[in-house]
Structure 1
Amino acid sequence: MNQKSHLIFTLYTIYGILLKVVASKGKPRGISGQYPLVQNMTVTEGGTVNMTCRVEYNDNTSLQWSNPAQQTLFFGDKKALRDNRIELMHASWSELTISISDVTLTDEGMYTCSLFTMPVRTAKAYLTVLGVPEKPEIDGLTKPALEGDQITLTCMTQGSKPAADLRWFRNEKEVKGAKEVNASGKTFTVRSSLQLHVDRNDDGVAYTCKVDHVALTQTPQQATEVLEVHYAPHVKIISSLVVPQEGQYLKLECMSKGNPSPDPVMWTKDGGELPDLDRMIVEGRELTFTSLNKTDNGTYRCEASNHLGTSSAEYVLYVYDVPTTLPPSTTPPLHPIPPDPTAQLGTHASDPTVTGNRDPNAIGQHGTDHALIGGVVAVVVFVTLCLIIVLGRYLARHKGTYLTNEAKGADDAPDADTAIINAEGNHAHAEEKKEYFI
């Protein structure tokens, strides 16, 4: 509305007031001294709000709404400001309700409802307009990232009023970022940064930035980025058998994990090529033995590579003899007997943290030999001890008898020959003994 039109409307308003004042002479003044009643309102940017002004008693006095710039919007049921967004909802002597659609931030402020009595009564209602934050954007992500890199993810949203809050999530778990708020006119720009030291566990992880704001009650704003991390492969070997035996079917699977995927893998035996490709079949990551025999014993190695490095794992294969089968029993066992867990052969990765290899020959075969040798040694030791005890007792008994007989009659004998002659039990053979000693 230009100044000339506004002046004409103002004069028209004053003229109407004078007419109402003249018409109200002689009427009771108590009912015309009422204050208008209004209420503060809050609306989201782009929404619609109704502004209502009421009085309990009125003597045909007009109500008027004015905007924060003190421009008259409606005087009674007459529209004063040419704005297609503002419409009349209800007009009477006791109520004036107007509607403002497609609300913008410039519509925020103090609105005035006037009751044209003498003097004029007014009431003020503040209209708060909420600025809706824009959809957030995530910057700083490099695709792909390398394991060990330091990266900073930054999430930003603009246009919020009041300032929005930003929250980070690693998959479904919330993580804390650093927030920064800057004013831009009536709205705010909000940033949040998240620093990451990426490793292989971050590969495929979704990082989400969510916006929390009072204006976003139904459709929260968020942005998501999925990390792609390249890393060197890691290899391990899985066997289909716990205790491999002759004639059995065995499958060794080389489980390699890396990004990019380390395909294909390479199998070797004892540092060289596989010797029997008719029975040892390589399909992708799997090494299959159609029928095991003793010649398959050895160390099998699986190796995988990508542009970031190489990894390998080893499997020591020892093929056991087929156990002797017993006659079938008519009564099934109550509980199946599990295989000896100590007979399991593992894999040995080339990781420097893994040291030493288990000797497969120490299982089963040497256990029986050691038990047999131990039993024989025990028997020999026992027999030897028995012989020593018997021989000792025999020697001790005969030695005592000799010394006793010799001692008898030796006290008065001048020499050894006389002592022997005088000993008890030797008188009858004294001559023989003397001649024997001569």
Structure 2
Amino acid sequence: MGVEETLRLLGATLLLLPGVLGGTLVVTYPVSQICALRGSSVLIPCTYEYPDNATVTERKWTNLPNNSNYDQPPFIYHSREEHLDTNYTGRVQYTEQDRSCSFKLTGIRSSDSRKYYFRITIDRKPKSVLGLNGVNLSVADGPLTVKVKTTRHNSVILEGDNVTLTCSTQSCSPNQTEFTWFKDGRPTYNTTSNTLSFNNVSYEHFGNYSCAAKDNTSVQSPQITLNVEYTPKNTSVSVSPSGEIVEGSSVTLTCSSNANPPVQNYTWFKTNGAAVWENGSGQSITITNISPGDSGQYYCEAHNKHGAHNSTAVPLPVTGNITRLLLAVFGSLVPVIVVAVVFIICIKRRKTGPSREDDSRHIVSEAATEDLYSNVRKTGSPGREQSQSAAVQGNDLNYATVNFQHKSAPSNDAATNPETEDPSVIYSSVKT
């Protein structure tokens, strides 16, 4: 291998300057080929070295390598701004840093497809050196596309794989152009490289990706879908209706899970203490006319072709129907209440004495007695009365004549013959 070929592979031109305190004057191009997208910007990298006791007097960039005199204008860049090419006016940004000769070319045109060289001049002999290999700039006019590279031979991307997205054109890969990456139409990821790498890709990277030159984001590549397949995740159970579950009502349990490909089947389980048993299948199950026996912990298991994932168990407490409970309690208390009421009534009757019927009979008896005694009158002669009075004085007896007569038909005999003894007279003795 010749010296010239070796220098070409290294991308640098070395010039040894004997007699300059053993120093060297070197121009290095880190890359020899650059692809840039038309309308974008590109950085053409370059570095140089010079002896410590020397002073740099001039820096130039040119794209006229075939001329025998590399100092012939026009120049892309000149440190003294002399003899500049008007086609590059306002489009070259040179960074004035020690030992850096890189420049940024903006608003790239198709006519910019050329080879670029850098020349440095110092204040000692020999005074200058030109980087002979230069940098070849290719301008891509075609549309951008995004290509996907994975560690698998097939097109399936599984969670955990390494994936690289590359923004390129049909003619070349513009690796020196600054890009903006989009996910689902929104700018994302803090990178300007033409590659986007995912080490240990996850389900969160699933989406539609596109790219565009950072200086012209209105022109984007077509979207490609990064289809990351994964086992079910974030599996959960929801209960409807929420809140207290009353005996006799209906309850629906729904299983939700995030999976790619989608969940193929759901399996339900019920636990009660240490016991676990299968309780149905399908994304939702409905328990009708629920009873306390349905109480327990419920969870679901989501399956797809890559695996399964269980949800957290949710409690399903069932409370008794309050209406049924009240009816049962009331039904058991009715006989007790009836017996108590009857007992109280009987006690009250005993305390209050005779009834109204007895009271009415008592009133009638008193009225008859008043009528009876209203007919008491004296009978016989005065002489008889005196003899009777004398006869009974010794015994302290008093006699009275009581005549019982009906008001409606008084007797005429008593009126016509007062001396006759009335058989209806009752004698009673009053002891004083």
TM-score band by shorter chain is 0.3 to 0.5
TM-score normalised according to structure 2 size = 0.36
